[in-house]
Chain A
Amino acid sequence: MAYEKVNELNLKDTELCLGLPGRTEEIKQEQEVSCVRSNNKRQFEETLDDEESTPPTKTQIVGWPPVRSYRKNNSVSYVKVSMDGAPYLRKIDLKTYKNYPELLKALENMFKFTVGEYSEREGYKGSGFVPTYEDKDGDWMLVGDVPWDMFSSSCKRLRIMKGSDAPALDSSSL
């Protein structure tokens, strides 16, 4: 497997590092994908064929797995997104995003703002808007401080705060 889970924590993910959230995610995901590909190959084909440069496209078999089409694509899960000063709440499906950059870009498009530079030490700087979220325990956290998977499974709602309201939150409150 691409990574090991120890006590359900992805150790690599909790490594501290500089740089935008999601950069490391992107790199990790590339590694994941290639490992997953080769795992699939070993499972389904007798011989290892490492010369293939393009990923093998698995043709989807008709009717397999046996799940009624009624069930497919039917399960959606939304979180509310609010922005201070905006009149309307929006909702998004977190599953449609794979990492923080994608999410932030979508939020920026939705509410027509820019989010600024993220750093672990100082949070978001430069724009006056701070994306925050409420987690399963009811705590308000800064978007980007925890690994993406952890975030997407515990985020209950999002709130984009105006800079002046944000000082209570910084990465050290994790």
Chain B
Amino acid sequence: MTRDRSEMSEDDDDQQSQSQSPPLDLRSAAIAEPCSSSSSSFSVVDSTPNKSRNCISSGTLTSQPFPDHVLENVLENVLQFLDSRCDRNAASLVCKSWWRVEASTRSEVFIGNCYALSPSRLTQRFKRVSSLVLKGKPRFADFNLMPPDWGANFAPWVSTMAKAYPWLEKVDLKRMFVTDDDLALLAESFPGFKELILVCCEGFGTSGIAIVANKCRKLKVLDLIESEVTDDEVDWISCFPEDVTCLESLAFDCVEAPINFKALEGLVARSPCLKKLRLNRFVSLVELHRLLLGAPQLTSLGTGSFSHDEEPQSEQEPDYAAAFRACKSVVCLSGFRELMPEYLPAIYPVCANLTSLNFSYANISPDMFKPIIHNCHKLQVFWALDSICDEGLQAVAETCKELRELRIFPFDPREDSEGPVSEVGLQAISEGCRKLESILYFCQRMTNAAVIAMSENCPELTVFRLCIMGRHRPDHVTGKPMDEGFGAIVKNCKKLTRLAVSGLLTDQAFRYMGEYGKLVRTLSVAFAGDSDMALRHVLEGCPRLQKLEIRDSPFGDAALRSGMHRYYNMRFVWMSACSLTRGCCKDIARAMPNLVVEVIGSDDDDDNRDYVETLYMYRSLDGPRKDAPKFVAIL
């Protein structure tokens, strides 16, 4: 079973573009401006994409044996089979003809940074887009490192696409600012609209959702994931049309507003295709029981509140296990907000089938946890709180031999909290779960030995994110920096594409990263390194680096300058609370006209004008954005 990314996507890196440059990069864009094209194989440059399709007019090509339109028809028939955007990007660079045909046949567009280009550039190049994935704010904005209202507005995109792509079917947004008006325009403009996925978005409320529910009659997917949705006191569930719906996936666990349960029950009853349902905490266990009995075809379930309200003592309790037993197809389970551990055994009937289990909102002790996990032999994706302790992780290691992805979040996310998981749990996982590909692990104590063991035991690792919550914390057994541990990870995990480091780290760790991190695309650094050399190692070493986010590390101007040969080939660089000066950032902005260099300050600091609190820079085809708020200076 492939892991469904829309299920639990928190900073999921796009696995597709492993090695190629992302779409709409400057080279392929250059073809749109033929005068500056350096990669085209012909010299005549006057034909624009909309002009005559006769590519023989570009003089250096030898005359074709077949008429040009036949060639392009053939190409169209072939290129339509290309799905991967890497392949499509490559195809578009072959020659102008291929560029044109690819542009006219690309139906799914991925834009990793909404400010890398303008909406009109998108609609001018690609004429038949039916699906858009669009990402906005940089990830560090999630941790309050950026003032609100920075940007990433969906409005210009939806208004441009409303005119250009009336057949649009799918919109998948991450960290974008979306208003109710945007949702209304979307619902009105795209009659065939099928899938709306909003991850870590904000700016809208239940009234916007109601309009989508009501007007998008072909809606199959409505997934609201970790988004902030204001409670406009609108009964949006009742706004779905009264006929049988096409719904396949409905996720609203992040909506902090009560739900009309009767309407929900009716909706589920008239949605025969519904496979994925994620409830919010306002759906009680009793109500869940009723829903499950009516929807045995579910494959993915997010429970609501897994507890009982204060109720009369004499009430006969429903047989929750029976409801779960009826759900023979459930392979993905999440939710468990407001958990009453005594009800956990109700899920025993589905444990053996589970490939994905998310306990990360459930404060479960090891004693309650172990009996459950010992049934979950097929588990591939597991998210939990550290309340399960090292003991719980040992149980996971004993049972879940198919585990691919593990995320352990802190129940008490403070630097000086107790830390119930440690190197013991990590070591156990590395020994038991050899197929591990992705790990996110919050802890208070770690050792190099355990990290090295993981690097040796888990060769399939592509994502390694270790967060030792105490800043600058060394190996707690040897007292040494964590250099060797992270060094082993980059050295031994040959498929590593994403790395997040923590703990006490010297420049040596970064030397390892530069030397061995050949496939690393995303790197997150916090409170690490000794000098500019650290950053230089990375910028000079990691050839595939796309996304670099650094905070509170002693890297200065010299280091930043050393990467100038890279920045056009990266999606973005974020550096906050480092040692950068405004002067240097200005120099870089001047030297690289297609790079947008944003200096983001806290609202008012006039002193230390030369000190750069936050630098966020990214390549752009259309110059600096026009919607920057006053606390953003674009150099």
Contacts and interface: CB of A to CB of B under 8 A. Distances in A.
Interface string A34-70: 0010001001100000000000001011111111111
Interface stretch (B93-101, B266-274, B360-368, B535-543): B360-368
B376 to A, nearest CB: 18
B342 A154 contact: no
Given A80-B308, A91-B307, A44 B143 contact: no
B410 A77 contact: no
A61 to B, nearest CB: 7
A77 B144 contact: no
B34 interface: no
A47 B593 CA distance: 48
B415 A89 contact: no
Given A79-B340, A153-B365, A66 B526 contact: yes
Interface in A56-106: 58, 60-72, 74-80, 82, 86-91, 95
Interface string B401-416: 0000000011101111
Contacts of B10: 68
Given A43-B473, A58-B416, A90-B310, A69 B339 contact: no
Contacts, number: 131
Contact of A80 (B312, B342, B391, B472): B342
Interface residues of A, number: 41
A40 B415 CA distance: 10
B224 interface: no
B442 A67 contact: yes
Contacts of B526: 64, 66
A89 to B, nearest CB: 6
Interface in B366-392: 366-368, 371, 385, 387, 391
B455 to A, nearest CB: 22
Interface string A141-166: 00000000000111011000000000
Contact of A77 (B228, B341, B415): B341
A8 B312 contact: no
Contact of A91 (B340, B361, B367, B410): B340
B471 interface: yes
A136 interface: yes
Interface string A92-130: 000100000000000000000000000000000000000
Contacts of A43: 470, 473
A122 B404 CA distance: 52
B469 interface: yes
A153 B365 CA distance: 5
A170 interface: no
Q: Which of A40, A65, A74, A136 has the most CB of B within 10 A?
A: A65
B4 interface: no
B410 A76 contact: no
Given A65-B442, A136-B367, A156 B342 contact: yes
Q: Which of A60, A67, A69, A82 has the most CB of B within 10 A?
A: A67
Interface string B518-536: 0000000011000000000
B635 to A, nearest CB: 24
A75 to B, nearest CB: 5
Q: Which of A8, A44, A62, A136 has the most CB of B within 10 A?
A: A136
A13 interface: no
A89 B311 contact: yes
A78 B340 contact: yes
A58 to B, nearest CB: 6
Nearest to B411: A75
Contacts of A25: none
A71 B363 CA distance: 12
A8 B313 CA distance: 37
Contacts of A152: 365
Contact of B311 (A8, A62, A78, A88): A88
Contacts of B313: 82, 86-89
Given A80-B340, A157-B342, A63 B366 contact: no
B471 A64 contact: yes
Given A44-B472, A63-B145, A91-B310, A77 B416 contact: no
24 contacts: A63-B140, A63-B144, A64-B143, A64-B527, A65-B442, A65-B469, A66-B140, A67-B143, A68-B200, A70-B228, A75-B337, A77-B338, A77-B362, A78-B339, A78-B340, A88-B310, A88-B313, A89-B308, A89-B310, A91-B307, A91-B308, A134-B342, A136-B341, A153-B365
Interface of B: 10, 140, 142-145, 200, 226, 228, 254, 307-313, 337-342, 360-368, 371, 385, 387, 391, 409-411, 413-416, 442, 467, 469-473, 526-527, 551-552
Interface of A: 8, 36, 40, 43-44, 58, 60-72, 74-80, 82, 86-91, 95, 134, 136, 152-154, 156-157
Given A68-B226, A77-B341, 10 more contacts: A40-B416, A60-B414, A64-B526, A67-B442, A69-B144, A71-B361, A75-B385, A77-B340, A89-B312, A153-B367
